[in-house]
Amino acid sequence: MAKKRIAILTGAGMSVESGLGTFRGGGGLWDEYPVEQVATPEGFIANPSLVLEFYKKRRNELSTVEPNEGHMLIASLEKDYDVCVITQNVDNLHERAGSTNVIHLHGELTKVCSSHNSQDMRYVRELSPEEPYIELGDMCADGSQLRPYIVWFGEAVPRIEDAIMALNDIDMFLIIGTSLNVYPAAGLLNYVPNSVPVYLIDPNDVHVNSVRNVVIIKAGASEGMRTIINKYLP
């Protein structure tokens, strides 16, 4: 008998309990660093050193934290269900928790790529623990400066089609720790079949711009996942 399929969309709130800061909201990283300076192609052209230093700090931060209970509970679902995690996060905490099918919509912090073509997969590579940073002058094999493998503002989201495909024939859709304000990820709810139950886990009030019924679980990622497992999963 085939396993039931669960798709899970996660945002920055998924990793808050691990100690990673969010980008939006009061005290978020965008309050400290203007988006246009560190998260756009234009910012990288104008001041690549600043951009590389910003992501160096993000990698340093990531190296000091661990997956939280919410990450672990999501990974544990794979024992009984066919699970696909679609994440807006650039950290690797889902993988470190044990999730094996993760679609990163906005790139991956631990990887680098070509600045000529960030989506040329021939040049995307994982940074090693021994050399976890890139500096100005570190070149890609295509002759360009290496850059973070991050989807910046103004760039296409290449894996959105993979995410849409992952919503085919699912039995449950979970949304965890995202304000549903960032597109195209926020639009994924529109591709979930009407017969599929949808649950949203977030400790904050989230406005769902949809006519469909969404069960709201007002809790953090870990507490919310415990509720899902204990109350809504067979």
> What DSSP letter does each residue of the chain carry, written as one string?
-PPPEEEEEE-GGGTGGGTPPPSSSTT-HHHHS-HHHHSSHHHHHH-HHHHHHHHHHHHHHHHT----HHHHHHHHGGGTSEEEEEES--S-HHHHHT---EEESSEEEEEEEESS-TT-GGG-EEPPSSS----TTPBPTTSSBEEEEE--TTS--TTHHHHHHHTTT-SEEEEES--S-STTGGGGGGGS-TTS-EEEE-SS------SS--EEE-S-HHHHHHHIIIII--
The reported pLDDT for the residue numbered 116 is 95
Pick one of 1.10.3720.10, 3.30.365.10, 1.10.760.10, 3.40.50.1220 as the CATH number of 1-19+67-106+157-234. 3.40.50.1220
* pTM reported for the whole predicted model: 0.93
CA dihedral (19, 20, 25, 30) positive or negative: positive
Active-site position among 71, 104, 106, 207: 106
Structure tokens at 119: 């989506």
> 21-64+110-150 has which fold?
SIR2/SIRT2 'Small Domain' (3.30.1600)
One digit per residue, pLDDT tens: the chain, 234 residues?
789 999 999 999 999 999 987 655 444 554 567 888 999 999 999 999 999 999 998 998 999 999 999 999 999 999 999 999 999 999 999 999 999 999 999 999 999 999 999 999 999 999 998 888 899 999 999 999 999 999 999 999 999 999 999 999 999 999 999 877 777 877 899 999 999 999 999 998 887 776 788 999 999 999 999 999 999 998
List the domain boundaries for the chain: 1-19+67-106+157-234, 21-64+110-150
pLDDT of residue 72: 98
Give catalytic status of residue 71 as yes or no.
no
- CB 205, CB 179: distance < 8 Å: no
